[in-house]
């Protein structure tokens, strides 16, 4: 079953629902205050609230260039290419259904599984103009890692996966691990800081992922 509720209906659940629903209530409450400050639509404010939620929950955002059929913020579609001349089957200017067009967009929550030409967290280039200045202001102070190629956004934190050493039971995060020489040059975080155990690129994995992640503030000189 799927219910479609208005913002006001969702707000009326405030404090009376399960935690999963309460997260959505908080997002809607927040997006309503955003809208009152003007300049963005309801859908855009919902997306900003969602992006901030992802930033906090996952400790990171992505900023991946992509092409999408429909924008989740403005419902715009790029439509289809148009025929350039008349033929037996079509008129000049008709839509060519075999040639879908794509809107330029950014995916802010790219995971391991990518659905072609679709994003659930992000926005098209048009929405970017109005949404991004608001979003960037709100991202200041949120403990989340933002890719450095997103130049206008704050870069104050790094996210590291938590790790545990199966040899000595050391627990910490990837940023604390010893850097080892990689085969093709460069370094990778592969050594336990507490014992001699190491992760080989194609071999033993002695220091394993444990639950959660750690956010580390980047100090001025390291930026
Ligand atoms: Zn859009
Ligand atoms: Zn160890």
SS3 139: helix
CA of 93 to the centre of ligand 1 (A): 25
Q: Range with the lowest mean pLDDT among 38-42, 100-104, 163-167, 211-215?
A: 38-42
Q: Which ligand is nearest to the CA of 47?
A: 1
Q: Which ligand is nearest to the CA of 168?
A: 2
Q: Is 28 exposed, middle or buried (0-12, 13-18, 19+ CB in 10 A)?
A: buried
- Determine what percent of the chain is predicted with pLDDT higher than 90: 57
| In the block, residue with structure tokens 């010893």 | 178
Please give the sequence-ordered ranges of beta strands (E in DSSP) within 41-177, or none if there are none. Answer: 64-68, 80-82, 95-100, 103-107, 122-124, 157-165, 171-173
CA of 68 to the centre of ligand 1 (A): 10
Q: Which ligand is nearest to the CA of 127?
A: 1
CA of 165 to the centre of ligand 2 (A): 5
Neighbours of 125 (CB within 10 A): 13
Q: Which ligand is nearest to the CA of 190?
A: 2
- DSSP-derived secondary structure for 60-91: B---EEEEESB-TTT--B--EEE-SS--SS--
Neighbours of 163 (CB within 10 A): 22
SS3 2: coil
Look at the chain and count its residues. 223
Residues with a beta carbon under 5 angstroms from ion ligand 1 = 71, 73-74, 124, 127
Q: Average pLDDT of the chain?
A: 90
Q: Is the pLDDT assigned to residue 176 strictly greater than 80?
A: yes
pLDDT 10s digits, 61-95: 999 999 999 999 998 888 899 999 988 888 999 99
Q: Which ligand is nearest to the CA of 177?
A: 2
Closest CA to 205 of 175, 180, 223: 180
- pLDDT at residue number 87: 87
- pLDDT at residue number 221: 61
CA of 70 to the centre of ligand 1 (A): 8
Q: Please report which confidence band the pLDDT of residue 5 belongs to, taking 50, 70 and 90 as the band edges.
A: confident
CA of 212 to the centre of ligand 2 (A): 19
pLDDT 10s digits, 43-57: 998 899 899 999 999
CA of 111 to the centre of ligand 1 (A): 21
- Determine what percent of the chain is predicted with pLDDT higher than 70: 97
pTM for this entry: 0.80
């Amino acid at each position: 079953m799927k219910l479609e509720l208005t913002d006001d209906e969702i707000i009326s659940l405030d404090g009376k629902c399960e935690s999963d629903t309460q997260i959505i209530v908080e997002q809607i409450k927040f997006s309503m205050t955003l809208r009152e400050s003007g300049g963005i639509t309801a859908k855009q404010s919902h997306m900003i609230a969602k992006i901030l939620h992802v930033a906090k929950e996952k400790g990171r955002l992505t900023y991946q260039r992509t092409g999408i059929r429909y924008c989740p913020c403005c419902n715009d579609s790029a439509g289809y290419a148009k025929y350039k001349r008349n033929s037996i089957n079509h008129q000049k200017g008709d839509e060519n259904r075999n040639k879908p067009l794509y809107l330029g967009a950014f995916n802010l929550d790219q995971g391991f599984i990518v659905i072609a030409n679709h994003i659930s967290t992000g926005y098209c280039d048009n929405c970017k103009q109005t949404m991004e200045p608001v979003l960037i202001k709100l991202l200041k102070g949120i403990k989340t890692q933002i890719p450095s190629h997103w130049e206008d956004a704050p870069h104050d934190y790094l996210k590291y996966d938590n790790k545990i050493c199966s040899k000595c039971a050391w627990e910490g995060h990837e940023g604390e691990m010893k850097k080892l020489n990689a085969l093709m040059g460069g370094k990778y975080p592969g050594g336990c800081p507490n014992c001699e155990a190491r992760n080989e690129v194609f071999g033993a994995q002695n220091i394993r992922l444990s639950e959660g992640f750690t956010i580390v503030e980047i100090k001025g000189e390291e930026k």
